[in-house]
Amino acid sequence: MTTAYQLPAFIGGTKQNLIGGRWVSAASGETIDVINPATGSSLGAIAAGGAADVDAAVRAARTAFEGEWSRWTPHQRRKLLLKVHDVVLDHFDELALIETLDMGAPLARTSGLREWTSQVLQFFAGQTGAATVATAPNSLPGDFLTLKSLEPVGVVGGIIPWNGPLIGLWWIFGPALATGCTAVLKPAEDASLSVLRIAELLTEAGVPDGVINVVTGYGKDAGSALAEHHGVDRIAFTGSVGTARSIVRASAGNMKRLQMELGGKSPDIVFADADLDLAVPGAAMGVYTNSGQVCVAGTRIFVQRPVHDEFVERLGEFTKTVRVGNGLDPETQIGPLISARQLERVQHYIEVGSGEARLVAGGSRLTGDHAGGYYIEPTVFAGATNDMTIAQEEIFGPVATVIPFDDMDEAVRLANATPYGLAGGLWTRNVSTAHKVSRAIDAGTVWVNCYGVLDPAIGFGGTKMSGYGWKGAREHVESYLYPKAVYMNL
């Protein structure tokens, strides 16, 4: 049963871009339809921005950067971020509903981001002192006074995916507002509405014109124009490896600083001494959360042989109880996939998996009342090996692949036998196993007896083909700054 919700007034019509404090249509006049993935019905349209719109936004961001903004004091910036915090939290029910309608995640999940959003904004509000200037000791002869400062890098281009815009945008706006940078954000063409609503709220909270700009559009148009633009000093990208490669090439013209948060094929290792009452639902939801459209999804579940068969049976049973449906239904645990294209992609991998391994649960598209949306059952494959396609390629759907192992060395070897290095998990009661294996996994984040926990003050990033650059923590803020030395011969 879907509870009746009043559609937010924001939903519907054609949205414009925010450039230099003004809402404007795409220069081409073209738009992109916004589809509700739960029903396949229209939610209106967004602007199909392109190179001209990106150019206008970058110029506005440059003007704002060169004005008063980059000289605001830490105190002024902290006050602004705390005001943004309050305004955004006051509107959080509406934002969660917009996100659910736009990208399908259950309302329970999007509403649950309230506390995280509060933490992330408070974290960045606490970082406004990072842009500093201080005298530095020197070893020069004579009467030299040396100063070292951290200066904002300038205009930041943000490019984010559709799987969690309500999270992704703060990783750009947060450090930009904390350091005195300005930003042009290009959200994903499949999920831009919550970003546009937040852009309105930022203006309401008093963010000066041009400091935050949003240009919606396709990656090949607006995205590549942002990556190429010589007025952009830094690109913060979250998305797939293929797109990252083209951004790295496009950004070479003016040597942009890059932050790359890319895909994953994360291992989740269940040792024989694990508490299976925790490990079964924990590992399952480590894959199924957000319909598997999570970069850190622990999609390769390695299970030690003594508990392998029991684990597979329990995982299959658990999977059949997971409620798939419209995100507006309070009972729903996982919503639809983002688009017809994504559904097709996941179905393709399920077909490949059925030829490679044994299908234990799921595998089908939902029909009947759900036929209009892009729903797929959570799916388990067992009897798999780590070299199979379903164990090597990022599916970005609720598909778990279970692979047996014998001992710790084999588990670590298999876990690391992937081009990715974003995250990993392990389940054990043995402290020594927890310590050794968590150190040995090549990944930016490892969870022990839990999965998916994220603290903005600790941060998050990847290694290998999962990218580089750290989101959250002091490192993130400092990557929006560059160090400068001043030598004064007095």
Tokens standing for residue 33:
């339809």
Q: Which stretch binds ligand NAD (CB under 6 A): 36-44, 57-65, 183-191, 316-324?
A: 183-191
DSSP assignment string, 265-309: --EEEE-TTS-HHHHHHHHHHHHHGGGG--TT---EEEEEHHHHH
Q: Is residue 158 a contact point for ligand NAD (CB under 6 A)?
A: no
Residue nearest to ligand NAD (CB): 219
Three-state DSSP class for residue 359: strand
Determine if 358 is a binding residue for ligand NAD (CB under 6 A): no
CB of 293 or CB of 333, closer to ligand NAD? 293
Least distance from ligand NAD to the Cβ atom of residue 471, Å: 7
Query: Is there binding between residue 430 and ligand NAD (CB under 6 A)?
Result: no
Catalytic, 261? Answer: yes
Residue 442 binds ligand NAD (CB under 6 A): no
Distance from C-alpha of 404 to C-alpha of 125, rounded to nearest angstrom: 46
Looking at this protein, which amino acid is placed at residue 180?
G
Q: Which is nearer to ligand NAD, 121 or 195 (CB)?
A: 195
Binds ligand NAD by CB under 6 A, chosen from 101, 172, 199, 295: 295
Contact with ligand NAD (CB under 6 A) among 25, 119, 246, 416: 246
Candidates 154, 175, 180, 219: give the one binding ligand NAD (CB under 6 A): 219
- From 261, 356, 410, 475, active-site residue: 261
Q: Which is nearer to ligand NAD, 271 or 349 (CB)?
A: 349
Considering the rule CB under 6 A, would residue 470 count as an interface residue with ligand NAD?
no
Q: Are 437 and 412 in contact (CB under 8 A)?
A: yes
The reply to whether 459 sits near ligand NAD by the rule CB under 6 A is no
Long-range contacts of 450-458 (CB under 8 A, 24+ apart): 450/282, 450/425, 451/268, 451/282, 451/283, 451/285, 451/286, 451/298, 451/425, 452/285, 452/286, 452/289, 452/294, 452/296, 454/116, 455/119, 456/116, 456/119, 456/120, 456/123, 456/124, 457/119, 457/123
Are 489 and 291 contacting, i.e. CB atoms less than 8 angstroms apart? no
Please identify, using beta-carbon distances, which residue of 79 and 464 lies nearer to ligand NAD: 464
**The only residue of 49, 239, 267, 362 in contact with ligand NAD, by rule CB under 6 A:** 239
Query: x-or-dash pattern for ligand NAD, window 385-404, by CB under 6 A?
Result: ---------x-x--------
Taking CB under 6 A as the rule, does residue 223 contact ligand NAD?
yes
Active site (catalytic) residues: 261
